[in-house]
Structure 1
Amino acid sequence: MSGAAIELKDLCISYGKTQVVHDVNISVEHGESFALVGESGSGKSTILKAIMGLAPDWSGEISILGKSRLHGADKQAALQCQMVFQDPYASLHPRKTIDDCLAEGMSIHGLSGRDQKVKDMLNAVGLDQRFRFRYPHQLSGGQRQRVAIARALMLEPKVLLLDEPTSALDVSVQAEILNLLKRLRKERNLTYLMVTHNLPVVSFLCDRMAVMRHGRVLEIADVTQLKQGRFNSDYAQELYVASGGNQ
């Protein structure tokens, strides 16, 4: 394995007898923001689940910060890599306060300094301290997603996996969250691996992208190619046109 932040080598993932990801090879550099794009069912989110240990049946190699990931629960990997899910309401426990949601990871890993860390992370994502003892249903969608991002940062990972982090939000709120993610990446020297179907989001937040279809990577392109609409595969060109990129 190289010294990349995330390295996927010959990654294959199956659900039962059905193989959904085929021989994926991707290297994401330290500090890079990399997107997986493609239509629904192309295997994008499944790859994130495998990296997080949520897809049990995979083969090949997954490396995070130069260390190969084990199958199943891997506490060391969790300290280095966390995930922000698509729907912040579904990913936050409805009967736990924001304080408890944020501190849960610290408790699992036996880390001290909970009180100050919760305060710091709320500040980091632009939430007032008064939100600390509220419940998820008392927050707006954008506020809940800020909490989800804060929770992912509580263990101070260097890698964040972002699964359609703005698609469940109103358009007016999407820009706020994208700006927040851009700022946090710069301030904390984070590496992002993001799943999205939204090419304008890729153009704003990412350096490179892998175009996926039917569980395979068709091509890897940088953001300059995206902005120019210059791709090698017909499918990537179709995605670009469908996103309004030819206008």
Structure 2
Amino acid sequence: MIRIDKLNVHYGSAHVVRDVSLDIATGESFALVGESGSGKSTVLKALAGQIRDWSGTVDLGDVRLSPGKHPRELIRRVQMVFQDPYGSLHPRRTVDDHLDEPLQIHGLGDRDQRILSMLDAVGLARKFRFRLPHQLSGGQRQRVAIARALMLEPDILLLDEPTSALDVSVQAEILNLLKGLRAERGLTFLLVTHDLPVVSFLCDRLAVLKAGQIQEIAGVEQLRHRNLGSAYGRELVAAAEGVAAEQA
């Protein structure tokens, strides 16, 4: 579903993504992990059409991307869920407005039924339909953001730290929701995160990035057994265990 070959991205003189190559199967959940500034989110932005100056080959399904162009058919097939549910929703627009907008843009009918069905799918009570974002909790806002991303029935969800801004108890709810939606709808996930337990729960494989370069690609079982092959991957696991120990 996603094939990337030698993707390179520059921000001015900074070379932030270096020869990244990935193959992600249909229905797979794949994670990009690494410290801040490692290039994880930049890869997502290139796939989402938010970065126009890149080089390499990117295929999403049967569509090949070109730098500076994002084919219209991909907008329905590839959607993104952002890190901050407080910032990704317009403060003066209701839940209904947010879910209706993509339907209007793409000229889709049965809008009322589609919106009600999607509220049910993400576990958000219908009474929230005409509320504003400030009237919702963080978890409820992220459910709205996920619902908005799914309104066009995409094949691929790009997930940029989708739970990092939420309380721990709410994180678990959203992760369970995403896992269920992936199974029900046959979605392909590309997840960016620094949270290795999230990867262990939600993903099949992961790529470890450092300074824009892939250090290794591993199965999630290797992560669970602390058996990553690269020195940097093992450092990430040790750091995650140290944080967990401090929080315990």
Q: 1:139 aligns with which of 115, 136, 140?
A: 136
Of the candidates 61, 66, 76, which is equivalent to residue 65 of structure 1? 61
1:150 maps to which residue?
Answer: 147
What is residue 218 of structure 1 aligned with on the other side?
A: 215
Shift in Å, 1:32: 0.4
Aligned to 1:236: 233
The structure 2 residue matched to 1:23, chosen from 19, 23, 44, is 19
Please name the residue that 2:116 is paired with. 119
1:177 aligned partner, one-letter code: I
- Report how far residue 74 of structure 1 moved: 2.8
Q: Secondary structure at the match of 2:236?
A: helix
Per-residue deviation at 1:199?
A: 0.6
- TM-score where L is the length of structure 2: 0.95
SS in 2 for 1:20: strand
1:44 and 2:21 aligned = no
On the 8 A contact 1:6/1:29 being kept in 2, the answer is yes
Task: Tell me the equivalent position of 1:165.
Answer: 162
Aligned equivalent of 2:31: 35
Native 8 Å contact 1:41 1:214 kept in 2: yes
Give me the whole-angstrom Cα distance separating, in 2, the residues matched to 1:77 and 1:19. Answer: 27
Q: Which amino acid aligns with 2:40?
A: K
Instruction: State the 1:219 CA deviation.
Output: 0.3
For 1:130-186, what per-residue CA distance to the aligned partner results, in whole angstroms no more than 9, with x for missing partners? Answer: 111001111000000000000000000011000000000001100000000000000
| 1:96 is the counterpart of 2:64 | no
Q: Residues 69 and 77 of structure 1 are in contact (CA less than 8 Å); yes or no, is this contact kept in structure 2?
A: no
Q: Secondary structure at the match of 2:192?
A: strand
**Hey, what's the Cα distance between the residues in 1 that align with 2:76 and 2:207?**
26
Structure 1 unaligned regions, length at least 5? none
**Are the counterparts in 2 of residues 6 and 62 from structure 1 also a CA contact under 8 Å?**
yes
> Offset of 1:111 from its aligned partner?
1.6
What letter is aligned with 1:146?
R
Question: How far apart, CA to CA, are the structure 2 residues paired with 1:73 and 1:132?
Answer: 31
Counting matched residue pairs gives 243
TM normalised by structure 1 equals: 0.96
RMSD: 1.3
Is the counterpart of residue 195 in structure 1 residue 165 in structure 2? Answer: no
Separation of aligned partners in 1, 2:137 and 2:222 = 36
User: Whole-Å Cα distance in 2 between the matches of residues 73 and 151 of structure 1?
Assistant: 20
Post-superposition shift, 1:63? 1.0
The unaligned stretches of length 5 or more in structure 2 are none
